[in-house]
Amino acid sequence: MTEVTSNTLFDALREWRDAGWIRSIDLAFVEFLQQAGETRSEVLLAALCASHEAGRGHTCIDIKALQNEPESVLNLPPENRYSPNCVNPSELFRQFGTDVEAALIQSHCVDVDGKGNQPLVLSDGKLYLRRYWQYEAFIENDLQARMSDRPVTNDDLLKSTLAKLFDKPDGDKAEEINWQRVACANTVRNRFSVITGGPGTGKTYTVVRLLTALQHQTLFLGLPPLRVSLAAPTGKAAARLTESIESELNRLRGDAKLATLKDALDAIKPEGKTLHRLLGVKPNSRAFKHHADNPLRTDVVIVDEASMIDIEMMTALLKATPKNARLVLIGDKDQLASVEAGAVLGNLCEGADQGHYHTETAQWLQHVADTPVLPAELIDNNGEQRLQHVVKFRKSYRFHGPIADLANAINRQDNAATKQELEKAKVADEDYPVSLYEVSSLDDPAFEALVKRNLTTSGSLTLHVRNNADTNSNVTKTANAEDINKLAQEALQNLSNFQILTALREGPWGVKAVNQKVGEILGVNANTWYEGRPVMVTKNDYGLKLNNGDIGLTFKDPEHGHLRVAFPDQTNKSENKGVRWVLPSRLTHIETVYAMTVHKSQGSEFKHTVMVLPDHDSPVLSKELLYTGITRAKERLSLVGSGLKVI
């Protein structure tokens, strides 16, 4: 290769764009910098990489790692996009022979202290696009202010309230720390808190008791009930949060031991919203109706599935949340981060496994939560301030058995334990919760049999069954206008019985290929409209009140014969039995969802989860992705792939 100049660099970058390695916007950004007077190839390439990383969900790029291992850092060439005509990233960086960080410091397009207005910011050896650096700086400053301002609480009242809400264990279990009780105490004490834990650790169970404790504190002082905002990143997660809180709330209201907390329980109004709906989206804009100058009218904001919050949304949430309100983030820190840039929950919970509680924090929690002394290994008087606001649940109450063992082994990156769990699945009988299907491709008869068996016998997707001998048959021909709502609601609920997940979007093992193949197996064209087609909304539609991730099912109108799509509706259950109908012609951003990516599955659980894995290693196959996909399975997990080498 000849010496890298601006011209040869742009020739290479255009090849990358044409091959699908980078986005057009990445190249356009570099062209903008060149027009602004930046001519050094190493600076332009570093800027390209920062933009590329933002597209992959990362807020910045480590310059030294970029120079030393550009291909692994950038994931170039990307999955299924190898092109022999494209210049290798390593070859480009090798040509520079200079310190890229030094060149960036000298560039007039790079800000090194964050006080300027250049499009790039270099901080601690990491290169940011300015807006992501601004988001990180704002979040850090805002949370620091919230953590420094502790609300007034009545410790004795809180202690007695928690004693009523949480049963004291007997026998050997009395020596166990009740982390749910600790989390309630810690959250009441602080304006900003994080509760993290894996599946089955009781996060929603704790939310109801937390709200009761907060309301009881307020009502005891003779003040009006707290205004509470419940939210989640997706419509499905918001609906699950509402249903879970309603169910647990009804149980507590029927407990005679909690009669003195009746007013506090009655003050809880469970209504989960999506974050977009909570903040109030402005049409055709990235802005929200609620912001620093028009904050939410609320006293408590609780956000579930917080691992899905990206850095831009977190910034908007903090701006809209009043400074004197409590903000509580709840989620599994080990799950995948948002598709968009930023891993907010993961960053906030870094180090939470080891606790790092100050002695003063630990003693207060032990006293008020009336729980055994926190272990010495969780105490660190030099622990960061943010970790005093984080409680990790360390015991699962319902997620046990082989599925949990496999997920936890992967999360610990324990290769020996992971291999052992897979070996158990290989020799187990058909009743074992984990099964392996080693197939050479999606055309393998074993995959077809797996799909047919579950889509026709599990009761989950009755409408998907097609009789090839009678293409005019339809399952709603006997239904009438009065009972179609009930049929639709039951079918929508049954969708959670069986779901195929994929690690990739593109390629022979990607979600598009799987959806196409399942359509072929069922005798339909998966990308056309037909009765029984399951669809997922891929973009928020505020006119239809549909959110990205909402899932609907297609039915034939029994009266007029045209197709309609049924979506769950939590707002007017008494009027429409929990179903809202939309004509297919009004759905402009949807895709068939026999299969969905693991990213899209976050916030959901399925009785039987089938996880399709590619036949080769991929940077996409992180432990977070595998852990997230496996933990979507409640009762049964099937792993499908060629050799299953990636685990």
| All residues at 6 or more sequence positions from 254 whose CB lies less than 8 Å from its CB, including other chains | none
Residue 222, marked binder:
no
Mean of per-residue pLDDT scores for the chain: 85
| All residues at 6 or more sequence positions from 15 whose CB lies less than 8 Å from its CB, including other chains | 83, 85, 86, 87
Note the pLDDT of residue 57: 83
- Count of CB atoms situated within 10 Å of the CB of 71: 13
Q: What strands, in cross-sheet order, belong to the sheet with 390-392?
A: 272-274, 228-232, 300-303, 326-331, 192-196, 390-392
Note the pLDDT of residue 71: 76
- Count of CB atoms situated within 10 Å of the CB of 566: 22
Residue 342, marked binder:
no
Q: Which residue has the higher pLDDT, 320 or 458?
A: 320
**320-334, 468-482, 633-647, range with the lowest pLDDT:** 468-482
% of the chain surpassing 70 pLDDT:
90
Run of H or E residues at 468: none
Residue 198, marked binder:
yes
Note the pLDDT of residue 642: 77
Q: How many helices, marked H, and strands, marked E, lie in the chain?
A: 25, 20
Residue 200, marked binder:
yes
Please compute the mean of the pLDDT values over residues 546-552 and round it to a whole number. 83
pLDDT digits (tens, 9 = 90+) for 128-151: 999 999 999 999 999 999 999 899
pLDDT score of 557 more than 60: yes
pLDDT score of 384 more than 90: yes
DSSP annotation of 197 reads -
**250-264, 268-282, 339-353, 570-584, range with the lowest pLDDT:** 570-584
Please give the C-alpha separations between residue 136 and each of 313, 378, 383, in angstroms, as whole numbers.
12, 28, 21
Note the pLDDT of residue 608: 93
Domains annotated on the chain, with CATH: 9-133 (1.10.10.1020), 149-165+175-392 (3.40.50.300), 402-466+481-641 (3.40.50.300)
Residue 201, marked binder:
yes
Residue 532, marked binder:
no
Question: pTM for the full model?
Answer: 0.84
| DSSP bridge partners of 329 | 194, 303
Note the pLDDT of residue 495: 84
Q: With bands split at pLDDT 50, 70 and 90, how would you rate the model's confidence at 468?
A: very low
Please compute the mean of the pLDDT values over residues 615-625 and round it to a whole number. 74
pLDDT score of 646 more than 60: no
Residues belonging to the chain: 647
Report the distance separating Cα 510 and Cα 612, nearest Å: 8
